[in-house]
Structure 1
């Protein structure tokens, strides 16, 4: 067991008692009465589990009558399994970078505290990032520092589906989503590199969205710097993709062959205040977008109207709908996993 993994486990165990309790009341900023239909006025954000390094990629797995959340802790290079009652256990380890000179890889992040805070920590983002399930229920991983798209088979075997485009290695697959026909869409960034786009080790000079289907990789978007989160509309006529550098979301039309066309600006958060960037992105069954951004998780109507913002105690990085009814929004927020009940099921 690596030193990083031991430290991550110790941190989670140390927070066991505290994380079982609800966090202090946190505001849901309501900008439109329509939000009350989606999030009840008395809904609260609560902490499910804390003590992690930098959480990402929450995805719900329904296993018969029981279910659990999987999410990544990027600096720990771990995928965690979290039950609704707050019990956490290591699900997979070493799913990101596993090569030599690990200290030279992964962009540098921190735990969100001020630099003069005694609890301030910095770490390399060497693990995996986004997670989803394919139509057979297999876990699909954007390995980020691992520079690949990976599938976990039912027997636990790890299968690399893609790790390069036109012979050149990816820069850091970030997030991933699966269409009903089984096609896998994922974003690629420069996240595997310490110096990002300036790193001499990078092989591709652009960020992109790719489609993988039946062993074939297709480049579908390359006009968005710092591509990050992505999600389909309920009818899959559109794919929403965000860019973290400038805090915006584009909407693309999905053609019959799965390629994308006519990308247009859908949400502009560039002038919004508050901590956080456009990162994780999900959609509910009525087409409302739940998008991490400045100040928390933005809720946006299918027409592009900002209805309100869910404010977690920490900077929100990604989100996923869970529980059997898909009416719990799980929020990955730096060192903790939070949740809030909503009224419309997510996709």
Structure 2
């Protein structure tokens, strides 16, 4: 694993004092990190020169975030039960809020394919204290051409993190309750097929559960889980585990000032946000 993470690599605590951090997303255009404190219903930004700044409050209890190709922020607003997009003028557009006429449950994590399609997980959360209207906990796809929402996968108990392989031919989805990752082949129409078990996390490693997930440029899969950040090869082989100072929830690759392009791993972990310098860049 030391070809990915140097043996003497050290965490940099970028900010602390939050309720529970989540959803890191690096914006290359503005050269800043976005992240959520979902228990406090806030979205923040961070960069090296300005530090932490409040971006939006209330956030709709946003959890997962990502950026699209135009540099617009997409957010899983769990309280508002929708996927939103912040336009370049600062206005907010609701992209997806219903399927088959019923409200989504509690959108959790989101990614964008190169064709503009938005994939997101929608596990029902009893913590929200609201009525469940969907008959399953699904993974969905928002079609940028039609604006329609389709089901991608409906077989998970609690779908959470998701990530594309570098060539976007594979879609990885993890299940927080089952503590495992499945991988699917992505079809030309945006659907998936041939799902199989990819990895099962070792729950004895420490606190935490299958959550945020990303791939590096070599196709290795990084997932926050029990005892830190697990790294898996394309074959599903366990390459190693990065132990964290706090329970890690999510992660992303980015490029803060004075760092090689795409080789910094940002991690949201309980009350803090950390960065770690790697020897490999993230998938683009």
Please tell me the TM-score bracket, short chain as reference: over 0.9
1:173 is the counterpart of 2:107: yes
1:260 is the counterpart of 2:192: yes
By how many angstroms is 1:326 displaced? 1.0
Counterpart-to-counterpart distance in 2, 1:291 and 1:136: 26
| Structure with the higher fraction of residues in strand conformation | 2
Pick the aligned partner of 1:152 from 86, 108, 126: 86
Partner of 2:134: 204
By how many angstroms is 1:84 displaced? 2.7
Counterpart-to-counterpart distance in 1, 2:49 and 2:157: 39
**Deviations 1:89-134 (Å, cap 9, x if unpaired)?**
10112121xxxxxxxxxxxxxxxxxxxxxxxxxxxxxx11111111
8 Å Cα contact 1:49/1:86 also seen in 2: no
Partner of 1:292: 224
**TM-score using structure 2 length:** 0.94
* Alignment map for 1:108-119 (pairs within 5 Å): none
**Runs of at least 5 residues in structure 2 that lack an aligned partner in the other structure:** none
Local SS of the residue matching 1:75:
helix
**Deviations 1:215-267 (Å, cap 9, x if unpaired)?**
12110100011100000001111000000001100001100000011111101
By how many angstroms is 1:200 displaced? 6.5
Partner of 1:87: 51
8 Å Cα contact 2:29/2:71 also seen in 1: no
Counterpart-to-counterpart distance in 1, 2:49 and 2:209: 29
* Number of residue-to-residue matches in the alignment: 277
8 Å Cα contact 1:48/1:85 also seen in 2: no
Counterpart-to-counterpart distance in 1, 2:191 and 2:234: 21
**TM-score using structure 1 length:** 0.77
Partner of 2:277: 341
* Alignment map for 1:1-347 (pairs within 5 Å): 35-63=1-29, 67-84=31-48, 87-96=51-60, 127-191=61-125, 193-194=126-127, 201-213=131-143, 214=145, 215-269=147-201, 271-323=203-255, 325-347=261-283
By how many angstroms is 1:85 displaced? 5.3
8 Å Cα contact 2:73/2:86 also seen in 1: yes
RMSD, aligned CA: 1.4
| Structure with the higher fraction of residues in helix conformation | 1
By how many angstroms is 1:272 displaced? 3.7
Local SS of the residue matching 1:36:
coil
Counterpart-to-counterpart distance in 2, 1:270 and 1:299: 12
After the TM superposition, which parts of structure 1 deviate over 4 Å for at least 4 consecutive aligned residues? none
**Deviations 1:27-78 (Å, cap 9, x if unpaired)?**
xxxxxxxx111111111122111001100000111236xx111000001111
Counterpart-to-counterpart distance in 1, 2:95 and 2:148: 9
Local SS of the residue matching 1:190:
coil
**Runs of at least 5 residues in structure 1 that lack an aligned partner in the other structure:** 1-34, 97-126
Question: Which of the two has higher C-alpha Rg?
Answer: 1
Counterpart-to-counterpart distance in 1, 2:29 and 2:280: 21
Counterpart-to-counterpart distance in 2, 1:211 and 1:204: 15
8 Å Cα contact 2:203/2:226 also seen in 1: no
Counterpart-to-counterpart distance in 1, 2:178 and 2:116: 31
By how many angstroms is 1:273 displaced? 2.7
Partner of 1:20: none
